[in-house]
Amino acid sequence: MKVEKKFFFNVRVDNVNLEDTLKHCEDYIRSGVPHQIVVVNVAKLVKARHDQILRRIINDADIVGADGMPLVWLSKYMGQPIAGRVNGTDLMGELVKKAAEKGHSIYFLGAKPDVVRKVVDSYTKLYPKLKVAGYRDGYFKSEEEDRVADEIRESGADIIFLAFGSPKKEKFVSKYLYRMGVPVVHGVGGSFDVVAGVTKRAPVWMQNWGLEWFYRFLQEPGRMWKRYLLTNLNFLLLVGAEMFKRTVRVQRA
């Protein structure tokens, strides 16, 4: 099953929804070959515009989902509609469920020690048959990375979730994808915090209206205001520039 690649402001987002992505992940596990899964939201798209390494990693990934409704709306406006949203937290939850059903093993990497333990405890209570290949927090030094990658490989995991920030997780995976040897590698950002109850997920209606960022801002305004102000402003400027170009082309036609 091929992935239809589309590009918005030179950043790739594939024509897939959550169900499509899960099917691809099953294929990847059967293959036994390492694959990198990336989900892109507005913040990551804007960041990738200025970070060439991050943009290359995203564009070279095995599958890239739209993590948020704004990118789904953008795809329709730009005449390249994508199938739907692939939220990173939802994808993680569905992969855990399917892993428990099919006997796939999972490695959990990242977040604080107490958070990753809570994530493992939560999922093993929910799915008693879930195979946990291993877990560890994300607080290790750069000189320890090789050893961490080797430990993951030795675990024999079929799936790994990396709860690092962006672009750290994308760059770590790009460097160690084949050394880890895990068929499905999914960077989940702050999803461990959600599962562990450290932060709350936005209500469904806010997710559908593309307001997850605002719900996150309300929980930590002091830490998040600058990030979202700059990110959203940059995104609006990009869209505004595109609207202006289209208006000019129509007038000249």
> Does a structural domain hold residue 34?
yes
* pLDDT score, position 226: 67
Could you tell me the CATH number of the domain that includes residue 15? Answer: 3.40.50
Give the Cβ contact number of residue 182 at 10 Å. Answer: 31
> Does a structural domain hold residue 140?
yes
> Does a structural domain hold residue 251?
no
Instruction: Report pLDDT digits (tens) over 38-62.
Output: 999 999 999 999 999 999 999 999 9
For 110, the 3-state DSSP assignment is strand
> Does a structural domain hold residue 235?
no
| DSSP alpha helix (H) spans, the chain | 18-31, 42-50, 52-60, 69-77, 88-102, 113-126, 145-155, 168-180, 191-196, 204-208, 212-219, 221-252
Q: How many residues does the chain have?
A: 253
* pLDDT score, position 225: 62
Instruction: Report pLDDT digits (tens) over 163-204.
Output: 998 999 999 999 999 999 999 999 998 999 999 999 988 888
**Number of domains comprising the chain:** 1
Nearest-Å Rg of the Cα atoms of the chain is 18
Instruction: Report pLDDT digits (tens) over 130-172.
Output: 999 999 999 999 999 999 999 999 999 999 999 998 999 999 9
Q: What is the pTM of this model?
A: 0.91
Largest CA-CA distance found in the chain, in angstroms, rounded: 64
> Does a structural domain hold residue 246?
no
Residue 38: beta bridge partners?
Answer: 64
Instruction: State the average pLDDT for the chain.
Output: 92
Instruction: Report pLDDT digits (tens) over 206-227.
Output: 888 887 877 777 887 777 666 7
* pLDDT score, position 234: 86
> Does a structural domain hold residue 253?
no
Task: Compute φ and ψ for 143, nearest 5 degrees.
Answer: -75, -10
> Does a structural domain hold residue 82?
yes
- Could you tell me the residue range of the domain that residue 18 belongs to? 5-206
> Does a structural domain hold residue 231?
no
Of 120, 107, 125, 115, residue with least CA distance to 162: 107
